[in-house]
Structure 1
Amino acid sequence: MSAAALSARDYRATAINPDDGVEIALTVMQPELAAGESAPLILHGHGFGGARLPNRYERSVYETLSGGILPSTEAARRAADAGYFVISFDQRGFGDSGGRVEIMDPAVEGADISAILDWAMQEMPERERLACDDGDPRVGGLGLSYGGGFQLIGACVDPRFDAIVPTATWHDLRYSLAPDNVVKTAWGAALVALGVPTSGVRLDPMLYRALLEGLISPLTGRGLSQAITDRLYNSSPVSFYDGEVARDGERVADPTRRTPAVDALLLQGVGDTLFNLNEALHNAEALRAAGNDVQVIAMQYGHSLPFLQDIDRIAYQTDAALHIDGETYETAALELAWLDWKLKGRTPERSIPRHTIILDDETSLMFDELPIGTGDHGPTVEFAGEATTGGLDLLLGILRRQSVSRLWSLVTGTAANALHAIKRVFDSDKPASGDDTALIARLVNALPSDHLDELASGGTFLPLTVIERDDQAIAGVPHADIEVSGDDATPIAFVGIGVRRSAGGATILLNKQVRPIRGAGRRSLELNGVSHRLHAGDELGLMVYGYHPQYLASFSAIPGRIAVRGRIALPIFDVS
């Protein structure tokens, strides 16, 4: 007998992790279905510090606070009216869910995700209407940032996922938060600030400790401790691709960790300063190597620091529309159409290229393989020069120009407590707390925002190549062989691709993308992916900084000079 017609409704429910009894709060958005019709399931997860959708009509907490929709969240709302069961959930430690935020630990948050799928299959009131193939449900995922991380980790731990759409998320948290073990302290402070309101300070102490270790790195001369880098690796998709876990600094084979069998549409922002384009590239490479179908769209925007980047939103600015191959698509509609293809078998009107880089509001570039500087896609050029390292003198110089009353208001009642907080970093029996982190962050962030450009303006421009004609673009991941030498054996420098316009004016750091180099010696490395239209007479160069505000408190404590030389392959294309 055919199942009766099903009315649309939204309701709240709870899934319980059987390992520790923690309750995960759910909003279930049930579709309207005709008699006998079934529907796939989509799990929707929020970003760090966010909360689940209350229903299919209202905006999420973050959308309300920032004044605009998020495409992945809008896609989840629309999916509920397009023949999908949608479960939007408060990730562990956030909103109405129990437990503590464990930064996507596969054994903890991963088990939460499996518990939600178990609930949908075994307890959801209309579970018999789930679309299944031989008893296996068709499951998709939507979400941004932390909500993208749950999809990759979830697919790694639970084979029931068929298709995922992770937006602006990570491949390796060690690289995301501390590349070359130089901590992104500006982002560390931002993540703590974003996470506290909806978690009620239920954050893993590791996050506070990592931020503290970064804040005091100029004093200690080191980055993150081994225990923290091990945790970050184990909470990353790369550990599943490698089939290993990290223990006490050693990598140990783990047969339970393997690359998932799941198709993916990866959206990543070229202007994302937290999870850059390189992360999507490496996720795509690993997933494809396991036989999955993967498309990558490099958007213009992503995670952004409001005081460093020209954006209209807090923390995230993702592209609401994408211009691909002469047509403009709503990002939310594109994501849902891709899921329709993978979960309902509906062939999209236009196929999505394997790799698309959105150059600007009118132009996109399409590739079979995402360009990496190998010399096949543009020139390989040599460079050499000197640069200054160390930001302490620059910081102190600017601080000295502040009024006594301003500095006093910032440090009153803080200095003695800050010393106490620093000591706690080295006391493993007394983990750093959120209060400790806030005390030190107040001192480090004492600078007014109008001085941040000054801190980033001391970069050295090492010329690379002059563009000879219009309608060209640099798009992809430059690759460099760099040798660093100098008096300091462990200098910290920051490098990125810059352009000096033919018409004069300031030198631009492309897409605000800069990465650190710790220590002297020769190395081969990827620079952060970039995308920028070029004009005849523009000169590309390697920008070398001794200090950059994205790494607010991470720099060489003792100023010095370094010699930098090497060669770099630039992915340059004709826009036509």
Structure 2
Amino acid sequence: MASPVTKKYALLLAVLALGALRRADAHPAGPAPLHITIPAPDGTPLAATVFRTGLETPVIVAGHGSAKARLKDLDDAETVPDRVVRALVEAGFNVVTYDRRGFGDSGGEGQFGDPALDGGDLNAVLDRIAEGALVPQARRGPDGRLVLGYSAYSMGADPVALMTTDRFGAMLLGISFSDMTDAMAPGGKPYQGWLTALLLLSRRQDSVISRDIRRLTLRGLRQRALARMPEAQAFLRERSLDCAAVKATDAAVLLMPGVNDTLYPLNHAARTFRCLRDTHGQDVRLVSQEKGHIIPGEVRGGRGLLNAIWPVENGFTVAQLEGRMSEAVYCPEAIGTPELAVRWFAAHLAPELAEPLALPPVCLSVGAEAGVVLSDLPSPGAPLPFEGVAVQVSNADLTADALSRRARRPGVDAPVFVPLVDVAEARALAGIPRVSLRFDERSAREARLRKLAVFVGIGVRRAGEVRVLNGQWQPFLINGGPYEDAELRGVGALLAPGDTVGLVISGHDVFFDGGAILTRGGIDKARVTIAGAVALPRLPPWGDSTLLIPNQRIPR
């Protein structure tokens, strides 16, 4: 039975949970960290650090995010992934961290999940550990094989680890990811903001991004057709999860997607969850968190830009949360992320190292201090129809427009809110909504010719203000329609009596269309009329129709 739990002192509980790992009876640290270099199959040097506890315990291999490098000293653990490493060592696990190629002290060029290069690098690290000299006390199973775990965080780590090796007994995949095509060009629409962020990352002094990635990114920005470029299609496809190619079929897997992640939304983890559970019969859990990837400040121009584009006086705001991994998750009680990692690996690899952990199959975050517990991902409810919604679509450069403060100059309208249901009692909304869209042929003809798109999300109107839940917009190219039973991006929120849940439809999005004037030499725009239906996730017991009153007031 699903039930939201909101804790007044949840942050304090999370801090206490983190501190409990460093209690007086914690396992003492072993020898000083050992810094080594491991040659990749192609000879590229991979920098690694070994934290040995001196105990006969499993070895956890830990990765890092796209803007970071490996943890080399436990005293320097500042980010949540680094604190996970520290907590694992303090609990008694042996841990090996390494810099992905192109990052930190490793050589080569960053590949972002290349199955051959990044997969070969991971196997090289595992081969070195298996030799025995790095961690002589490493635990081995009855068959003589090392007992290994894997803790990864973004940067295409999920497909690489799942499709590269069968040597892991347990895995924790933070900011879970499965589909590079959907990340870089969702719905066939190049994600201009994240492509630009990738270029910015390639110019950092502590990273060297593949020239192929830089070239494809530049072409995607200039041509605005990334998903239609054959070489780009192959590049993105090979960095995505192929369910049939999964090798880690014996691993227990914990997926931790960010419900506010605008690059790798909840949908990615849901696909991996179904792949591992339904196709391979694995023990897999999905625990969503609040944080994740957002558009960096260098791209979006600072916090004030969002309200400049969707002014509050028009009744719209867009929710975007800063940060990467959350300090704590709610399942439904608060538990610090480092403690969660320790107890997850202990439960599956070394039960003597931590208290037992009983995770349900699914925990979905519905706010900074609340979560719902489910036996499965929510199924869609009954379709809620709408019709006659007129939206102006445009590729206008809203950044320049907002800064000029002349909102009507490009002819850009505010997003349209389509009310669907009124909330009568407090409840949660979490999961993946689905939508069907039909475009009036007469009005859509011009938009099809100009290859324009609409952007659709789930919104909540409260006290006259509409908030797009979790900042999640899904683009739909008008020339690709109609769309039947298509996924919207996953959401998670608590609803209050008096809220109205609805569809938000916009004809533009700065993160997708920023720079359009510069790249295309002008503005394309058209007005289209849309009809369709929305199916919201069904969460028992709130699916009872007495708590949701269908709202037929559709704007025309």
- Normalising by the smaller structure, the TM-score range is 0.7 to 0.9
What is the match of residue 230 of structure 2? 226
Deviation at 1:193, TM superposition (A): 2.0
- Indicate conservation of the 8 Å contact 2:60/2:93, yes or no: yes
Unaligned ranges ≥5, structure 2: 1-27, 307-317, 543-556
AA matched with 1:44: A
What's 1:514 paired with?
A: 473
| Aligned match of 2:483 | 523
Determine the C-alpha separation between the residues in 2 that align with 1:568 and 1:174: 24
Task: Classify 1:318/1:395 alpha carbon distance in 2 versus 1 (closer, same or farther; 3 Å).
Answer: closer
Distance (whole Å) between structure 1 residues aligned to residue 376 and residue 178 of structure 2:
18
Per the TM alignment, residue 324 of structure 1 is displaced from its structure 2 partner at its CA by 2.5
- Asked whether 1:535 is paired with 2:496, we answer yes
**Does 2:78 align with 1:42?**
no
Asked if 1 retains the 8 angstrom alpha-carbon contact of 2:392 and 2:528, the reply is yes
Residue aligning to 1:292: 282
Aligned amino acid, residue 121 of structure 1: A
1:380 corresponds in structure 2 to 384
* Residue equivalent to 1:559: 525
C-alpha contact (below 8 Å) 1:381/1:465 kept by paired residues: no
Aligned partners of 2:319 and 2:468 also within 8 Å: no
Q: State how many pairs are aligned.
A: 479
Whole-angstrom distance in 1 between the partners of 2:351 and 2:145: 16
Match of 1:359 among 366, 373, 378: 366
Pairing of 1:395-474 with structure 2 (within 5 A): 397-398=401-402, 458-467=414-423, 469-474=424-429
**1:106-125 maps to which residues of 2 (within 5 A)?**
106-122=115-131, 124-125=133-134
- The answer to whether residue 171 in structure 2 is matched with residue 182 in structure 1 is no
**Deviation, structure 1 residue 50:** 1.1
- Per-residue deviation, 1:398: 4.4
Per-residue deviation, 1:259? 6.5
Percent of pairs with identical residues = 27
- 1:429 is aligned to none
Distance 1:6 1:323 in 2: 30
Provide the C-alpha distance between the structure 2 equivalents of 1:304 and 1:140, rounded to a whole number of angstroms.
Answer: 28
Equivalent pair of 1:479/1:526 in contact (CA under 8 Å): yes
Tell me the alpha carbon deviations over residues 100-141 of structure 1, each in whole angstroms, 9 at most, x when there is no partner.
112211111100000000011116343353433412111111
**543-552 or 267-276, which moves further after superposition?**
543-552
Q: Deviation of residue 310 (structure 1)?
A: 6.5
Is this contact kept in 2: 1:23–1:98, CA < 8 A? Answer: yes
- Deviation, 1:484, is 2.5
2:140–2:147 CA contact under 8 A, matched in 1 = yes
Question: In the TM superposition, what whole-angstrom CA distance separates every residue of 1:170-218 from its partner, at most 9, and x where no partner exists?
Answer: 1110011111221111122223323432544x21223323332332346
Q: Does 2:143 match 1:153? A: no
Looking at structure 1, the residues matched to 143 and 220 of structure 2 have their Cα atoms a distance apart, in angstroms, of 50
Cα offset, 1:169, TM superposition: 2.8
Cα deviation per residue 1:375-402 (whole Å; 9 max; x = unaligned)? Answer: 3xxx634344110111327566446569
Contact 2:101 2:118 in 1 (8 A): yes
Tell me, yes or no, if the aligned pair for 1:48 and 1:145 is still in contact at 8 Å. yes
CA distance, structure 2, for counterparts of residue 95 and residue 362 of structure 1: 34
Equivalent of 1:136 in 142, 145, 150: 145
Q: Compute the displacement of 1:222 (Å).
A: 6.7
How far residue 569 of structure 1 moved from its aligned partner, in angstroms, is 0.6
Structure 1, 300-309 or 540-549: larger mean CA deviation: 300-309
Which string of whole-angstrom CA distances, capped at 9 and with x for unpartnered residues, describes residues 81-108 of structure 1? 2222111111011111111112211111
Q: What does the per-residue CA deviation read over 1:321-372, in whole Å, with 9 as the maximum and x for residues that have no partner?
A: 22333x3211110111011011113585451111011222443211111114
1:53 aligns to what SS in structure 2?
A: coil
AA at the equivalent of 1:562: V
The residue correspondences of 1:480-499 to structure 2 (distance < 5 A) are: 480-485=435-440, 486-487=444-445, 488-489=447-448, 490-499=451-460
Other-structure match for 1:271: 260
C-alpha distance in 2 between matches for 1:552 and 1:177: 13
For residues 369 and 541 of structure 2, what CA distance do their matches in structure 1 show? 11
Q: What TM-score do you get using the length of structure 1 for normalisation?
A: 0.77
Match of 1:333, SS state, is helix
Q: What one-letter code is carried by the residue in structure 2 that aligns with 1:336?
A: V
State the match for 2:94 in structure 1: 85
* Mean CA deviation greater in 284-293 or 206-215: 206-215
Contact kept? 2:227, 2:233, Cα under 8 Å: no
Q: Is the Cα contact below 8 Å between 1:383 and 1:462 reproduced in 2?
A: no
**Counterpart secondary structure, 2:91:** coil
Residues 173, 552 of structure 1: alpha-carbon distance in 2 compared, 3 angstrom cutoff: same
2:314: which partner in 1? none
Q: Distance in 2 between matches of 1:344 and 1:271?
A: 33
Distance in 2, Cα, partners of 1:456 & 1:126: 61
Which residue in the other structure is 1:210 paired with? 216
SS in 1 for 2:162: helix
| Matched residue SS, 1:73 | helix
Q: Secondary structure at the match of 2:33?
A: strand
Distance change (3 Å), C-alpha of 1:224 and 1:28? farther
| Cα displacement (A) at 1:463 | 2.2
Contact 1:498–1:542 under 8 Å retained in 2: yes
Q: Which segments of 5 or more consecutive residues in structure 1 lack a partner in the other structure?
A: 64-68, 244-256, 403-450
Q: Which moved more, 1:475-484 or 1:124-133?
A: 124-133
Distance 1:310 1:567, change over 3 A: closer
Judged with a 3 Å threshold, the aligned counterparts in structure 2 of structure 1 residues 96 and 210 are, in CA distance, closer, same or farther, namely same
Name the structure 2 match of 1:324. Answer: 331
Cα distance in 2 for partners of 1:230, 1:103 equals 14
Q: Distance in 2 between matches of 1:17 and 1:175?
A: 30
Q: Tell me what 1:409 maps to.
A: none
Aligned equivalents of 1:457, 1:476: Cα separation in 2: 29
Cα gap change, 1:473 to 1:100, in 2 (>3 Å): same
Residues in 2 aligned to 1:382 and 1:274: alpha-carbon distance in whole angstroms: 28
> Residue 312 of structure 2 corresponds to which residue in structure 1?
none
Cα distance between partner residues in 2 of 1:49 and 1:362: 27
Q: Identify if the C-alpha distance between structure 1 residues 232 and 355 changes in structure 2 by more than 3 Å, giving closer, same or farther.
A: same
Identify the residue that residue 5 of structure 2 maps to in structure 1: none
Kept after mapping to 2: 8 A contact 1:473/1:574: no
Deviations 1:122-174 (A, max 9, x none): 1634335343341211111113212xx32541232111111110111311100
Superposition RMSD in Å: 2.8
Which residue identity lines up with residue 16 of structure 1 in the other structure?
A: P
Please report the TM-score for the alignment, with normalisation by the length of structure 2.
0.80
Give the direction of change, closer, same or farther, for the CA distance of 1:168–1:537 in structure 2 (3 Å limit): same
> Does the 8 A contact of 2:455 with 2:476 survive in 1?
yes
Distance 2:43 2:412 in 1: 48
Matched, 1:21 2:27: no
CA contact (8 A) 1:456 1:548 kept: no
Sort the Cα spacing of 1:564 and 1:294 in 2 relative to 1 into closer, same or farther, 3 A.
same
Q: Matched residues in 1 for 2:288 and 2:411: separation?
A: 29
Q: How many angstroms apart in 2 are the aligned matches of 1:6 and 1:396? A: 54
Which structure is higher in RCO with an 8 Å CA cutoff and minimum separation 6? 2
Between the aligned partners of 1:223 and 1:155, the Cα distance in structure 2 is 25
> CA distance change for structure 1 residues 312 and 542 in 2, over 3 Å: closer, same or farther?
closer
Q: Distance between the aligned counterparts of 2:348 and 2:459, measured in 1?
A: 40
> Structure 1 pair 340/181, CA: closer, same or farther in 2 (3 Å)?
same
